[in-house]
A and B are shown apart, each in its own frame.
Chain A
Amino acid sequence: MKKVLVLISIIASLTIIGCSSLQLQPADFAWAAEEIVEVGAKGMVDAKRYSVAFNVTALLAKEFATDSAAAKDTKEIRLIRDKAGFYYLTGKKFKNVYVLAQGDGALSVSNTLVISVEKTMDDPKFDQKDTYVELWNGKDKFQLTKGGAQPVGGKK
């Protein structure tokens, strides 16, 4: 009986090891520059160069919860992807940058990086850096990672 139990344990261990996913590393999903993409009538955006298209209606509703006119007026958004494959999305009049992760036929908001609680951004821009994505808002710059936003120079 003891022998049978040992055998079963060995077989079970091998099965578990055999079922774990194979990972290809290292991988680099970074876009060299941000894409400025138009928001279509039904809320679709399409970054043609990278063959990425998704609907932002829900995201705009979330950003401009109390201001549906601002949501409607948003004609373009800025999008960039970091090395790890996370998308960063923002636009004019936004207060936040959204970190999106690719799922099964969808993008899910993995994190919302608050840039300013009170003031909206006038002309935000993304810049790809080696280990992070940089956000420019006028003269202010922020280091963005999927975990958070840090003002460059330690201020803010």
Chain B
Amino acid sequence: MKKGIILLAGVVLFISGMNAQERTQSDIKRDFETRFILLTKNLNGAENEATLTLLLKDVATFEAEFKPHQEFLNKAVFPDGYDGLIDRLKKSKELAEKKILALQLEKEIASLTDQVQSLKEENASLRSQLTKAQAELASLKKAIALLQDDIQKRDEAVFALVDSLFVKYDTDQISGTDMKKLSILEKKNVVASIKRSVSDNMMFLSSASFSPQQIPQLLNEQRRFESSWKGVGQKLSKAYVPTSLQGKEVSEINGLIANWRTMTEGVFWKGLNEIFASEKLSITPFNNGEEMYANIIKFIDSEIQNTAQRSSAEQTIVFEAFAYKTWGSKLKPSWIPVMMRHGLFTEEQMAEIDAKTKTWAAGMKPIEDSTLSYILIGALLIAILAGIYLGTRKRSA
């Protein structure tokens, strides 16, 4: 193709050179025929738009250059003459344009087919990865549950052992018998075990992700451990000389437990904020119970004020997201009881939020008071049952 264009250019140059001189009519006829054949050949062989554009220019030049000889060429060029050959060139030009368009479409189709194939393969690979990841996630969740269970069991065992050894401690004095018991403790390396338990719990907190159902339990565990440690730790602090190895470990444990508490609370508040965020409720993030209460009240007040500006459907969506999907079904049954048990939330605060929710519902026509009452009663029942369950567990522990 390139050769053809170069040749054509050569012919044009040659003929231009010839034009500078005089030409016989036979020369004109021959040039016309030669260039026509070459142009037709090049048009038939054109494979891209750039080549075709150049050739179209050549065709226009060719037509214009021989136009003055039209009458002579119509007689001399047999059988088509000038007019016939120019028509044929135009048809070749149209064919070439269609051919290039078809080639471009073919290329596009081939490229799209490749893309489809590649996406198909990628899709299959992603599906297989997803299946694998789902299996891994399930296995990981199982492992986390097992680990949590094991850590809890070990914590309980360690404190049961310590409790049994300190069962007779009711004074601050350490008698000779008590020292003997402490030496048994040292032999069993209980202090190191407690330290390790705290470290493991912290590592567990920082390395795993938890479902909203697991988080209240984590806070419960941490507080339970801390409370157990408070009794034992004080006794151990008094029993050991502060500079001794055991004495140092006891004060280290105090620091570790404080860190664990901070971490647990971080996870706890983050989890609570995420519950509201997942329902797209515009409650300002909080980091403690007081803030949470204040922000929820602020949110409800704002919603009550905005009822006039929102459609009935929008109001219902926001209300349902708060009253049914978060406060009633998630927070009150599992989070609030834990918070109340550990002094992070009060009965009054809960009652205030319930009352506000009722006021909010009253301002919304579509939801009847009786419906809301049923919902709140249902939520209250769930909360009571959850409280009873958690209380039973605590007592059995």
Contact = CB atoms under 8 A, between A and B. Distances in A.
Task: Give the interface centre of A32, A49, A136 by most chain B CB atoms within 10 Å.
Answer: A32
A49 B76 CA distance: 10
B78 A127 contact: no
A128 B25 contact: yes
B78 A33 contact: no
Contacts of A36: 26
A134 B27 CA distance: 13
Interface in B12-34: 24-27, 29
A32 B24 contact: no
If over half of B's interface residues share one DSSP class (helix, strand or loop), that class is named, otherwise mixed; here it is helix
A125 B27 contact: yes
A49 B24 contact: no
A115 B339 CA distance: 127
A49 B217 CA distance: 106
Interface string A96-139: 00000000000000000000000000000111100000101000
A32 B26 CA distance: 9
A33 B73 CA distance: 9
Interface residues of B, number: 9
Interface string A134-149: 1010000000000000
Q: Give the size category of A's interface with B.
A: 10 to 19
A125 B78 contact: no
Contacts of A126: 24, 26
Nearest to A126: B26
Contacts of A136: 24
B391 to A, nearest CB: 117
A34 interface: yes
B120 interface: no
A55 to B, nearest CB: 24
Contacts of B75: 32
A125 B72 contact: no
Contacts of B27: 125
A126 B29 CA distance: 13
Nearest to A80: B26
A134 B24 CA distance: 9
A34 B78 contact: no
B372 to A, nearest CB: 105
A127 B72 CA distance: 12
Interface of B: 24-27, 29, 72, 75-76, 78
Given A49-B78, A134-B24, 16 more contacts: A32-B25, A32-B29, A32-B72, A32-B75, A32-B76, A33-B29, A33-B76, A34-B24, A36-B26, A125-B24, A125-B26, A125-B27, A126-B26, A127-B24, A127-B25, A128-B25
11 contacts: A32-B29, A32-B72, A32-B76, A33-B25, A33-B26, A34-B24, A34-B26, A36-B26, A49-B78, A128-B25, A136-B24
